[in-house]
Amino acid sequence: MDIFLQQIVNGLTIGSLYALVALGYTMVYGVMKLINFAHGDLVALSAFAGLTIYTSIFADGGTSIIAVITVFMFTAAIIAVVGVLLERLAYRPLRTAPRLSAVVSALGAGLVIQNSIMLIWGPNMKIFPSDLFPSTIYDINGVVITFTQLMILIFSSVLMIALYLFINKTKIGTAIRAVAIDQDAAKLMGINVNKIIMIIFIIGSALGAVAGLFIGIYYRGITFDMGWMYGLNAFVAAIIGGIGNIPGAMFGGLMLGLFNALISGYISSAWAETFTFMLLIVVLIFRPTGILGEKVAEKV
């Protein structure tokens, strides 16, 4: 039983990281109907940027809560700016172009970010210091959870709840939802669509940055090409949950994390990805727009 619970803890940790990244995909998709293939690489970029900020500002000052918070704030801000630039330069000129052109542009942007990381930080794995968070380990009846894991779980839940409230209870949130449903109508209602899209990219990128930093702190080793893997998993999570749907992304991320952990733990880790995509296909066969996605009837 403790082995099972341990797998649940493992799954939820990685699942919350997927969920944070998935939110970035789903928000952009909801508004622009575009798979932002560069999002995973933004996540990777945030880990590298965060590491550089940490080592340059707090070179030998050791760690403090302030140091960690500063790193998170700075990194999130930088990645948000990159995200906005990404939209301005690579996506906005293509808003009226065929949908697939924007997909290629996104793939190209991912390549640019990934290779910029490689040129700036080099092809080698970079390693986060192990003392950003205390290395405390809590053992509850044989189920082990580290301080970092706990932080990941708590922080991502807080961020997700905050985002949910922001989208559903504030004026900007309402505007975002309006733009997601019908851009033209929203424009007629006086909503500045460009501003909304900018906000989407700021929030999505900042959440991705938080995920990237957590990945760095938790797993320590970061590589320039790691964005692809996290991106793909998070994207699958967003689709399983129902792309465009914010609670869907959260649900999808957690579900995928759990599913992966249980498959790897009880069936075979060698076939984990196969099972992931089987799950995706099964979900889509029964719910073509994802578990929490709404059914869209096409107007004829």
Partner 1 sequence: MKNMLPKLAASAAVCALLVTAGSAADVIKIGVQVPITGKYANEGQSIDDGVKLVIDQLNAKGGLLGKQLKVVTCDDEGKAQKAAICARKLVNEGVLAVIGSYTSGATEAAQTTYYRNKTLQTSDGTSDSLTKHKYWTFFRNSFQNSAQATFTAKYLVKEKGYKKIVVISDYSSYAVGLADSAVKSIKAEGGNVIYQGKIKSGTQNFTAVLTKIKSMKPDAIYFSGYYTDGGLIRAQQEQLGIKADFIGGDSNDNPDFMKLAGKSAKGTLLVNFPTPDFLPYDAAKVFIKDYNAKYGKDPSSVWALMNVDGLNAILHAVRKTKSLDTKTISNYLHALKDFPGITGPITFREDGERINTKFNVYEIQADNSYKIINK
Partner 2 sequence: MNKTTIISLGFLLVMGVFPFFADSAWLAVGTTFLVFSVVAFSQDIILGRAGAFHMGHAAFFGLGAYTTAILNTHFGWPILATWAPAVIIPMVVALITTAPIIHLRGDYLLVTTIGINIIFLQVLENDLFGITGGPNGIFGIDVVKIFGYELFEQIHMYFMAFILLGITLFIMKTLDGSKFGRAMFYINKDDVAAQSMGIDLRYYKLYAFAIGAGLAGAAGSMFAVQYSAVSPEAFDVLQSIMFFTIVLVGGSASLPGVLLGTFVMFVLPEIFREFETARYLVFGLAMILTMILRPRGIWPAKFGNIPAFLKKGKK
At position 212, the amino acid (one-letter code) is G
46 binds partner 1 (CB under 8 A): no
272 binds partner 1 (CB under 8 A): yes
Nearer to partner 2, 115 or 168 (CB): 115
| Block residue for tokens 């922080």 | 155
- Selection from partner 2, partner 1, none that 156 binds (CB < 5 to 8 A by kind) is none
- Selection from partner 1, partner 2, none that 101 binds (CB < 5 to 8 A by kind) is partner 2
Among the listed residues 14, 75, 24, 41, the one whose alpha carbon sits nearest the alpha carbon of residue 207:
24
Which residue of 108, 123, 134, 288 would you call a contact of partner 1, by CB under 8 A?
123
Contact predicate 234/96, CB 8 Å: no
Alpha-carbon torsion 271, 242, 93, 193, what sign? negative
DSSP code string of 225-273 = TTHHHHHHHHHHHHHHH-TT-HHHHHHHHHHHHHHHHHIIIII-STTHH
Nearer to partner 2, 1 or 286 (CB): 286
Contacts of 241 (CB under 8 A, 6+ apart): 22, 26, 247, 248, 249, 250, 251, 252, 253, 255, 290, 291, 292, 293
Contacts of 208 (CB under 8 A, 6+ apart): 20, 21, 24, 39, 42, 43, 46, 79, 83
Q: Least distance in Å: CB of 129 to partner 2?
A: 27
Residues 242-271 that bind partner 1 (CB under 8 A): 260-266, 269-270
- Binding residues vs partner 2 (CB under 8 A): 29, 35, 89-90, 93-94, 97-105, 107-116, 118-119, 123, 232, 235-236, 239, 243, 270-271, 273-274, 276-278, 280-281, 284-285, 288-289, 298, 300
Q: Which residues of 128-165 are buried (b: 16+ CB within 10 A; e: fewer)?
A: beeebbeeeeeeeeebebbebbebbbebbeebbeebee
Calpha distance 59→97 (Å, rounded):
47
Partners of residue 145 on adjacent β-strands = 138
70 binds partner 1 (CB under 8 A): no
- Selection from partner 1, partner 2, none that 260 binds (CB < 5 to 8 A by kind) is partner 1
Calpha distance 48→221 (Å, rounded):
10
119 binds partner 1 (CB under 8 A): no
- Selection from partner 2, partner 1, none that 266 binds (CB < 5 to 8 A by kind) is partner 1
Q: Least distance in Å: CB of 278 to partner 2?
A: 8
Q: Least distance in Å: CB of 251 to partner 2?
A: 17
Q: Which residues of 11-22 are buried (b: 16+ CB within 10 A; e: fewer)?
A: bbbbbbbbbbbb
Residues 133-152 that bind partner 1 (CB under 8 A): 135, 137, 139, 144, 146
124 binds partner 1 (CB under 8 A): yes
- Selection from partner 2, partner 1, none that 104 binds (CB < 5 to 8 A by kind) is partner 2
111 binds partner 1 (CB under 8 A): no
Q: Least distance in Å: CB of 246 to partner 2?
A: 17
Residues 185-244 that bind partner 1 (CB under 8 A): 215, 219-221, 223, 225-226, 229
Applying CB under 8 A, the residues found at the interface with partner 1 are 3, 6-7, 10-11, 13-14, 118, 122-125, 127, 130, 135, 137, 139, 144, 146, 215, 219-221, 223, 225-226, 229, 260-266, 269-270, 272-273
